[in-house]
Structure 1
Amino acid sequence: MGGGTFASNYANVGFMDREVFLNVYDLTSFNNYSIWFGFGVFHTGIEVYGMEYGFGAHDYSISGVFEVEPRSCPGFIYRCSISLGHIDMSASEFREFIETIASEYHGDTYHLIWKNCNHFTDDISHRLHCKRIPGWVNRLAKFGALFRCLIPDSLESTTVRHLPEYYHAYEDKMSDSGSNSSSQEGSEHEVVDHKVLISPTRKAEIAFIKEIAR
């Protein structure tokens, strides 16, 4: 699915309900046991106007916000959806909103404890004047903030690097652009200028949002 298809979704959903959903995914099957104790390792995305938005890590100072078909984020196990309320803005207004927010969530700023995908969805829901996400979704990060030494490095690596395809796709694009430009700065500008940044290794299941400068 290419960027044009993602964009066309917004033109055809003006009649859709403006309900906002939090889609919750398991990062590990161990959640089936730990959730009974009130915590787990989760990824979340915000679903609105027929698309889902999440935040992922990469090594570059550009948008880490991506869109994907609802409840189908690759690499995770879908668990459930939670209604957070309704928004009072059109699809085009929401699109501008999410592109603006993307400038605050660069891939190289992702942090398992302080700025992860769940912080992103909670922030988005709050700004949309909807409910905050349930506490159990991001409880591990709160626990880790108090007892950082107890969080194994392997968990952080697994959680942070859940979008490795973007790293390679961007690196390849930079190399190709660099060979046709006079500087790396110019080639980086060329890449960021794309409407969405597609991950070709997953047949464009994920599309990174182009940020609008604030």
Structure 2
Amino acid sequence: MFPSCMSLLSRRGEQRAPRPGQSAVVLNVYDMYWTNWYTAGAGVGVFHSGVQVHSSEWAYGGHPYAFTGVFEITPRDERELGEQFRFRQSVHIGYTDFSEEEVRRLVAELGKQFRGDRYHLMNNNCNHFTSAFCLALCDNDIPAWVNRLAYVSSCVPFLQRCLPKEWLTPAALQHSLAAHSRSSSPQTPQ
């Protein structure tokens, strides 16, 4: 006897159990603007996302410098991102065999592509980073709704100019930039 189509569809969404040594890959999604409470139900919204693997969350933001815009925060801690961010939900993406050290090396490699000065709200944003990161970690992509506004807005260029510039550099990335500038500036004699 053949299985019914309905039983095949229900199994499609099931998550398999991790093999020994694997770690969960979780997408943490944040609302970036209060209007999301009204528009997200219609399938559009402004979302920030980060990938949680092991005990860290990795995300991407823009800045004017030619080095990585990838930064690390405590998972689901919206306060580290800034006051315009509100945690929305976590989405299980899959499992990875990468160790914590291998994840850090992967983040460093991705940081070469996702530099702060290459951030673009429609074509190279935080959700593009999390998509690339998830694909590298577990060969699964993020849900399309997370970055839908970027796809829609690329057809309507004036929308990009309507979003505040401070959204490009979350607070956690601003702290990283400050630490980077302190460590790279020459020491003045006392």
Give, in whole Å, the separation in 2 of the partners of 1:80 and 1:123.
Answer: 20
Aligned to 1:193: none
Within the candidate set 52, 56, 60, 1:55 is matched to 60
Instruction: Tell me the CA shift for residue 173 of structure 1.
Output: 2.6
Aligned partner letter, 1:27:
M
Partner of 1:131: 140
Secondary structure in structure 1 of the residue aligned to 2:38: helix
Gaps of 5+ in 2: 1-19
- Percent identity reads 35
Aligned to 1:38: 43
**Partner Cα separation in structure 2 for residue 153 and residue 167 of structure 1:** 26
Equivalence map 1:6-85=2 (5 Å)? 18-73=23-78, 74=80, 75=82, 76-85=85-94
CA contact (8 A) 2:153 2:160 kept: no
Q: Distance in 2 between matches of 1:175 and 1:92?
A: 25
Could you tell me which amino acid in structure 2 is paired with residue 173 of structure 1?
R
Counterpart of 1:188 in structure 2 is: none
CA contact (8 A) 1:17 1:49 kept: no
- Deviation, 1:16, is 7.5
Q: For residues 169 and 58 of structure 1, what CA distance do their matches in structure 2 show?
A: 12
Which secondary structure state, in structure 1, belongs to the residue aligned with residue 122 of structure 2? coil
Contact 2:70 2:114 in 1 (8 A): yes
Give the distance between the partners of 1:58 and 1:167, measured in 2 at CA.
11
Alpha-carbon distance change, 109 to 156 in structure 1, aligned in 2, over 3 angstroms: farther
Task: Name the amino acid aligned to 2:59.
Answer: G
Structure 1 distance, partners of 2:104, 2:179, is 23
Distance in 2, Cα, partners of 1:127 & 1:156: 31
Structure possessing the higher radius of gyration over alpha carbons: 2
Aligned length: 165
CA-to-partner distance for each residue in 1:130-163, whole Å, 9 max, x for gaps? 32111111111001111112x0524152432434
Cα distance in structure 1, aligned partners of 2:53 and 2:186: 34
Equivalence for 1:157: 165
Q: Classify the secondary structure of the residue corresponding to 1:61.
A: coil
2:66 and 2:121 map into 1 onto residues whose CA distance is 17
| Alignment root-mean-square deviation, CA | 2.4
Deviation at 1:28, TM superposition (A): 1.0
Runs of 5+ consecutive residues of structure 1 not aligned to the other structure: 1-14, 181-214
Report the Cα distance in structure 2 between the residues aligned to 1:24 and 1:117, rounded to whole angstroms: 11
SS for the counterpart of 1:146 is: coil
Closer, same or farther: CA 139–68 of 1 in aligned 2, 3 Å: same
**In 1, distance between residues paired with 2:109 and 2:180?**
24
TM-score (normalizing by structure 1): 0.69
